[in-house]
Structure 1
């Protein structure tokens, strides 16, 4: 399971970061908080470096016969993580490449399109080894990892040579750290075994408070912000247990109000910058409808509404197909939340079936890859591919255009939507843009869950709220289905789409599982880490879009949750050497499985505003 980790990428990244700083990271005029942040970084890094040395000593004492040594090593790893969280916001923002040494996910990541493998290192890979059944067998690698941490931590102050940041950048760094708390830390994303996410959140919010203090002392005091910070810290301190932590109460009562007040504070200081993320910082909070703008995924123009209206009509247009009988809604039916209820959709010939399940289209555009294997990067490419695919629409592009151009209404609609192309507005690029514009509108965010977070405390029942806390906690669902869209769009920058290897089987009999033959992303990028890897879809509206998984193997959500509860394919004894999902069981009780499903049901949108008529 654990391989020797290369250090070449890591060391070169650290050198490159230092070089970039020396060569001229420049600052703006304002520097109210920078000096304070640098001093705090030095102090907190000293504590981190000291705990990294302790960690190296602790893992060097591991023994097959000494359970206490294992517990000591785990405890020391937790201490080291907590110390790192005090400087995480600064590292992740200003020294991103170097920060990867410490808290990279415990799986190989692929830097596309260059196909460079980024081996796991640091806390998360050490955690996986320390919680293995036989951690002492990994002692050599644990010592290597701890040595890397301690040596690099000792040199972190060197990163500050010639450093000059701005107040705007510093405030953006803590803004992003708070989003990380809301979306990652409380889910156990980077410490699933230690379950230290709540205590780490306390450290992160404390770091935010320390960064903000100089601004408040310079006559920019915000009584409410200061109060909310203190209340948030107190709540985290009083409720440190990961499994019982009430995430719904924390978000609505503390974290989301804090995000709103922090955003307003930064705006009032006229120091709002966005140099890192695809978020809309003007949004009220991360769960607001405008928090993740469609413009991050699609080219939004002045005629976007006209394009969407045209795309809505084209969605039901049989002229896009080779037999003039099929359209987009043939496999994405509006009465089934833009899915079709089949394991895999009926093919063009009406007899056979396509390879994969037709997922619902709501929020589908809010990803940086399309199709289950992510083989195209945007909706436009996907639309063109589907229309031409012999198994799907089997539409010859030139024939499609010829049919559409015969319709005077279409000619007028295309010209209005694409006025810059008066010569011939009806073409494949425009058709794909119009359909994509419509699909980007399929993001209502009006479910019971959204209403609850917006202030309607009666929108969710007790079972659904318990399910949310499990989803974002003990069940670890939120560590792959990231808030707020609950898909594979990775916080806090929301610039990447994640792929996972779950070990999805070919059948749903857990006692007699069969291996699925679909190679997933490997068919597009033939590298071992992509074998059976698939894009993580949203679970919003999942209650309405059965069956599930890329092959439609599971008929209901209870079966899906139980599959995860058992540790995916590897946990159910399928041979899945590249599985990224932990093979360890979650130990969810039957009533907890029911509660998680109840939460997912609360993610069902009302489609009154997005379901169009066919004409």
Structure 2
């Protein structure tokens, strides 16, 4: 009986212990859910600042309070930038998009800009009754868009892989845009706002139990930015190499340690890239429409053969290489190339083809959406090659050497050439012209002997005081914006017809306006790459400037506005840069380090 009682008591104890273990077990937090919850809390904080600080300040027209609450609002936004840019890209452009009209050509739509950057222009210019009214409308639109984010976020299920990708891309965003003044040209709050963005990343890493080995560098970078009170004094090159790149590497190591996979985010970078400046950062295939346009060694070889051959021109007297000389970074050194058979000169300067594959629009007026389309246009243009891809196909299919090269490159059942294959082979060759072999690249990849103090000073000016990096985005130094590289920009600079600063007249070339007659596009031209720029003189779409010194002088004066050309739609800031001769020399010294070796 006693034995049975003991068994009963023992069984009851086991049962109670089991029940307690079930109900008292603390549920282990899921990091991705914690990040999402933290975002909701942070979003409420931003909404509160907008509702209770910014809105009343604008309603009272209190300039001091407006500026203070505006800066506080955007600092709160920057802490969440990694999340909003990644999960709500369309809404992010309404919250902090560029202050220029967005034109949807296919739909004939013009969307006026809205958000923080529009507010900044209104706040940091001379106030007027009209500007206060406009600012009040902007604040109210901001309230609506923040509510939209909150509503969308309720429906989202996010993964660890997405979060790690989001903070990886935010490091790249800070590198290329955040420390350049790109989205705060008037307030010049890039450095504290970059610190705020890093603070947001820091909080994410804490949710993933990051060790001091990673958190300390983040904290150190934040302190460094907050201590640097002068926008122009930050050593941006050192900040990137000594702070941002090690942080990015640390994030990648933590991801691997936690067995979190990479994910495809839509960026044109490889999904596992840890630096914008590593040699293999870009996935060239992400710049094409679909897998049928993927690059291969065989296509490149065929494209190079066609590029240097006259077989594509009906007269058999001109090749692509006639105007794009490899020794001059695939330019020709002329103001404009002569037309076929020495006829009239072509409309515009011959641009470099190096790194052309890493952009989203082609020709100075962005009339072609792909390199394949560009090849079609050039071959058929009566003043360039005066050719026909259909006729060229016939000639190729009757030539055993060319036909063999096509068979190797495409290896399909037809075993013949066709116009599309010609276009694609040429495009593949041009896409291969991305060596990233300059002294600048080698320095950013760790070889600190490559650059001297003058060249490093030039980079810091380029990315800071001179504001070059806010249009020529690192690391491509063209108008294709990091970190997604989804769109190539055009700018209205006010380029003159002649290199005359006393009696300057706007060049008659209307740029994008000729094909798409929107007022915003008048005199707009693609922002070309500055890689190999020392080899590609003369400069601008019309080749008007023979030296980099002349180009820098133009920008230093404020573009066209600075030499007396009044354009309502100039997108380049009309304010003088106030660069000294020494600073201009340093910038040019840096630009020369972008030449491939």
When normalised by structure 1's length, the TM-score is 0.87
Give the structure 2 partner of residue 587 of structure 1.
Answer: 578
* Cα distance in structure 2, aligned partners of 1:550 and 1:122: 32
| DSSP-derived class of the 1:493 partner | coil
Q: How does 1:15-34 map to 2 (within 5 A)?
A: 32-34=30-32
Give the structure 1 partner of residue 25 of structure 2.
Answer: none
Deviation (angstroms), 1:344: 1.1
Deviation (angstroms), 1:300: 7.0
Aligned residue-pair number = 566
Give the structure 1 partner of residue 386 of structure 2.
Answer: 394
Give the structure 1 partner of residue 320 of structure 2.
Answer: 328
Q: Does 1:260 align with 2:249?
A: yes
Deviation (angstroms), 1:227: 3.3
Q: How does 1:61-460 map to 2 (within 5 A)?
A: 61-62=60-61, 70-134=63-127, 138-150=131-143, 152-153=145-146, 157-216=150-209, 221-268=210-257, 269-298=259-288, 299=291, 304-424=296-416, 426-460=417-451
* Cα distance in structure 2, aligned partners of 1:354 and 1:285: 40
* Cα distance in structure 1, aligned partners of 2:579 and 2:295: 49
Deviation (angstroms), 1:329: 1.2
Gap change, CA 1:86 and 1:420, over 3 Å in 2: same
Gap change, CA 1:292 and 1:272, over 3 Å in 2: same
Give the structure 1 partner of residue 38 of structure 2.
Answer: 40
Larger radius of gyration: 2
Cα deviations by residue, 1:207-263 (Å, 9 ceiling, x for unpaired): 1111121211xxxx4553233323322322332432111110001111012112212
CA RMSD, aligned part only?
A: 2.2
Q: Does 1:56 align with 2:63?
A: no
Give the structure 2 partner of residue 511 of structure 1.
Answer: 502
Gap change, CA 1:434 and 1:38, over 3 Å in 2: closer
Gap change, CA 1:395 and 1:594, over 3 Å in 2: same
Q: Is the 2:285–2:295 contact (alpha carbons within 8 Å) kept by the matching residues of 1?
A: no
* Cα distance in structure 2, aligned partners of 1:176 and 1:77: 25
Gap change, CA 1:520 and 1:563, over 3 Å in 2: same
Cα deviations by residue, 1:116-150 (Å, 9 ceiling, x for unpaired): 22211121112112232455651211122123334
Gap change, CA 1:39 and 1:423, over 3 Å in 2: closer
Q: Does 1:485 align with 2:476?
A: yes
Cα deviations by residue, 1:476-517 (Å, 9 ceiling, x for unpaired): 111111111111111221111112111222112112111112
Gap change, CA 1:135 and 1:511, over 3 Å in 2: farther
Gap change, CA 1:421 and 1:391, over 3 Å in 2: farther
Q: Is the 1:303–1:418 contact (alpha carbons within 8 Å) kept by the matching residues of 2?
A: no
* Cα distance in structure 1, aligned partners of 2:549 and 2:375: 32
Gap change, CA 1:100 and 1:428, over 3 Å in 2: same
When normalised by structure 2's length, the TM-score is 0.90
* Cα distance in structure 2, aligned partners of 1:497 and 1:155: 28
Give the unaligned 5+ runs of structure 1. 1-29, 63-68, 607-615
Deviation (angstroms), 1:429: 1.4
Give the structure 1 partner of residue 24 of structure 2.
Answer: none
Q: Which protein has the bigger helix share?
A: 2
* Cα distance in structure 1, aligned partners of 2:68 and 2:485: 32
* Cα distance in structure 2, aligned partners of 1:598 and 1:163: 48
Give the structure 1 partner of residue 15 of structure 2.
Answer: none
